[in-house]
Amino acid sequence: MGAKVRVVERKGRTFLEHLYLVEVAKGMFVTLGHFFRNLMDNSRLYVRHYPEVQPEIPSRWRGRHRLTKHDDGTVKCVACFMCQTNCPSNCIMIEAGERHDDKSEKLPVRFDIDLLECIYCGYCVEACPMDAIRMDTGIFSVTSDNRGSMVIGLEELLDTPGAFEEQEYQKGAR
Amino acid sequence: MSALDLLMILLRIAFGAFVPLSFVAVLVWMERRGAGFFQDRAGPNRCNFMGFRAAGLIQNLADGVKLIFKEDVVPGHIKHKFYFILAPMLVFFTAMLCFAVIPFADVLTIGGRDYVMQAVPMDIGILWFLAIVGFGVYGIILAGWSSHNKYGVLGGLRAAAQVISYEIPMGLALVSLLAIYGTVNLTEMAQYQGQLLFGFIPMWGVFLQPLGVIIFIIAAFAETNRTPFDLAEGESEIVAGFHIEYSAMKFALFFLGEYVAMFVSSALIVTLYFGSYQIPWLATETLVAHAKAVVIMLMLVTPVITYFFTGWIKKNNRSHYHRPNDPRVREANVYRVLLWMAVVLLEVVLIGYLIFAAGGAADRIIVALLQVVTFLVKTTMMCFVYIWVRWTLPRFRYDQLQKIGWEKLMPLALLNIFITSAVIVSFG
């Protein structure tokens, strides 16, 4: 015999506990306490008054994606397809084109992300060798009334600013 | 038949029909806001009509509008459409009919004639209730069966088995109660509870039958299919049970029926065990004899209660975040003005009574109104217990449910009968 057998004492077998009534009464007074505390002063509810009071989003939180730019405003993305290859839910669709601004040889002419497919895992951010795609927009609520508008393109990705200071983001990323 | 007779009949029927219906709105509201507060959240409090949220009551209007305008689907696979449509009606009407025999005030004597304050003045009282409430489960079984859906059938079967097992302890608990009261007439039972035990304890069923009241309340919970005995609709196992195929107003009828049944069984528990309309230590005759003193007390107490209530509204009806020109504060001010206006109106009416109508029939009417209010307050408190239990206790497992019914409650109820009859025989 290898492992020692430890017998755990079983709870809930006494007569009083089998009656249920005592335990039921105990439980009911716990909930009644909560009820009266909240009834007497409803500012003590553990509730965020959501649409008016927004949650605080930390810099490491993965929100909707964006594409970053160089200081001169050109696209950082080099259309290497790393993110698309790495994406577990196949939500990224890149189409590469020739680039003539001496930054690199390629640039994306199409960069679509299907937000209905995306699982917000952040693998695209980790795979990117150019730090071109980030999930630091702080956008947590992505809603629409039709499927078409849930696929966002290059323009929208490029135009969305990051929600955090560069320093703050680097602290979170590394 | 005089005009007064007709008026009284109309009033009683209106009370019996509309009070349960309007209490559905109150109960749904109590359930949802109550659930919120029990779980440290707010519950539905955004729905408003021109900025007035009425503490969340407007949500009921929105729900009603939604249920009326939804598509009423009758699935194509249903063969017996008649029974499918009959089932929710049955559930709703049986629940409504049960309230017909419950007295809401003591027998009112005006102009030398007695008016029994029940919607239907019958002597059979509790027997009517037992007959009709047992019929209510037919609606559930019929719904489950005619849905032609395995979840529906399972829900219906569970409901049937459960109601059969719990009607026995319920009936046995009633037997010992009937032995004490010596009548099946609910008005007479309520009058019996106006007496005093040993001269200082109100002779309520709860003091005469402490074991019986527990058995009866547990059985009543099972009868109305409420948590912890709501296995008929156990969402986690059989989705929604018997009403899985129902939509729109047919579903709403089940919903209404459930809450009316809850209200009616609270009313019955109050009638049988918690003194019905009796105000403790103040029997009807005492109240009538001292009607003036009672009215003056009322005039003093109402403003005090209103003062604290408006203070509570002012404290709680505001936004808990920064909001310029908080509309909720304005809303609260309107409520407070309305409340104080209602109080002033009440005081004026009562002063009018003191000056012009004191003595005679007006005394009896005022006492009857007071008793109606007492009855409704007690019933609301019992409904709160239903809600309180629902948001505290988890659902029983099915074998536990049957075990409690047959192995615990039934022997206890029998024991209760023996003890009660022994006491009655030995002390007369």
**Which among B40, B315, B389 has CB closest to A41?**
B315
Give yes or no for residue B249 having a pLDDT over 80: yes
Distance CA A91, CA A108 (A): 16
Among B29, B31, B40, B408, most A C-beta atoms within 10 A, so best to mutate, is B40
Residues A36 and A75 reside in one and the same domain: no
Mean pLDDT, chain B, whole residue set: 86
Burial status of residue B368 (CB atoms within 10 A of its CB: 0-12, 13-18, 19 or more): buried
Distance CA B219, CA B230 (A): 12
Whether residue A4 lies inside any domain: the answer is no
| CB-based contact, B418 to chain A, within 8 Å | no
**Which among B312, B319, B393 has CB closest to A24?**
B393
Q: Å from B166 to nearest chain A CA?
A: 17
A to B CB pairs, distance under 8 Å:
54
Whether residue A54 lies inside any domain: the answer is no
Chain B residues with CB under 8 Å of A40 CB are 312
Distance CA B206, CA B191 (A): 15
Residues A154 and A78 reside in one and the same domain: yes
Chain A residues with CB under 8 Å of B36 CB are 38, 45
Residues A105 and A154 reside in one and the same domain: yes
Would you say B143 and B88 are in contact if contact means Cβ atoms under 8 Å apart?
yes
In tens digits, chain A (174 residues) has pLDDT values of 578 898 888 887 787 777 778 888 899 999 999 999 988 888 888 888 888 888 888 888 888 999 999 888 889 999 999 999 999 999 999 999 998 888 888 989 999 999 999 999 989 999 999 889 999 888 888 899 999 899 999 998 998 888 888 888 887 655
Q: What are the contacts of B333-338 at 24+ separation with CB within 8 A?
A: B334/B52, B335/B310, B336/B310
pLDDT of residue A120: 92
Look at phi and psi of residue A143 and say left if phi exceeds 0, alpha if psi is from -120 to 50, else beta.
Answer: beta
pLDDT tens column, B37-69: 999 888 888 888 888 888 888 888 888 899 889
Read off the pLDDT of each residue in B235-241 and give the average, rounded to a whole number.
74
Q: Residue with structure tokens 């156990």?
A: B234
pLDDT tens column, B1-30: 688 888 888 888 888 888 888 889 889 999
Distance CA B140, CA B51 (A): 40
User: Percentage of chain B surpassing pLDDT 90?
Assistant: 16
End-to-end CA separation in angstroms for chain B = 42
Give yes or no for residue B108 having a pLDDT over 70: yes
pLDDT tens column, A64-86: 999 999 888 889 999 999 999 99
SS3 sequence, B294-314?
Answer: HHHHHHHHHHHHHHHHHHHHH
Give yes or no for residue B109 having a pLDDT over 90: no
Residues A32 and A109 reside in one and the same domain: no
Residues 208-237 of B with CB under 8 A from A: 214
Encoded tokens for B301: 């107490």
Enclosing domain of residue A96? 66-173
Whether residue A2 lies inside any domain: the answer is no
The secondary structure of chain A in percent helix, strand, coil, rounded to multiples of 5, reads 30, 15, 55
Sequence-ordered list of residues with C-beta below 8 angstroms from that of B108, at least 6 positions apart, any chain: B8, B114, B115, B117, B364, B365, B368
| CB-based contact, B400 to chain A, within 8 Å | no
Residues A80 and A27 reside in one and the same domain: no
Q: How many domains would you assign to chain A? A: 2
Give yes or no for residue B155 having a pLDDT over 90: no
Distance CA B30, CA B11 (A): 27
pLDDT tens column, A4-23: 898 888 887 787 777 778 88
Would you say B382 and B269 are in contact if contact means Cβ atoms under 8 Å apart?
yes
Encoded tokens for B344: 């002033």
Encoded tokens for B58: 């407007």
Phi, psi of B219 (to 5 degrees): -65, -35
pLDDT of residue A42: 84
Q: Å from A39 to nearest chain B CA?
A: 7
Give yes or no for residue B258 having a pLDDT over 90: no
Chain B residues with CB under 8 Å of A39 CB are 37
pLDDT of residue A172: 63
pLDDT tens column, B319-361: 888 888 888 888 889 999 999 999 999 999 888 888 887 777 7
Residues A124 and A39 reside in one and the same domain: no
| Closest CA relative to residue B203, chosen from B212, B193, B190, B213 | B193
pLDDT tens column, B198-212: 778 788 888 888 888
Give yes or no for residue B305 having a pLDDT over 90: yes
- Residue B229: its H or E element: none
Q: Which residue has the higher pLDDT, B331 or B285?
A: B331
Read off the pLDDT of each residue in B172-199 and give the average, rounded to a whole number.
85
pLDDT of residue B75: 84
Whether residue A38 lies inside any domain: the answer is yes
A52/B315 touch (CB, cutoff 8 Å), yes or no: no
Residue A67's DSSP bridge partners are A133
Q: How many residues does chain A have?
A: 174
End-to-end CA separation in angstroms for chain A = 49
pTM of the model: 0.84
Residues A144 and A80 reside in one and the same domain: yes
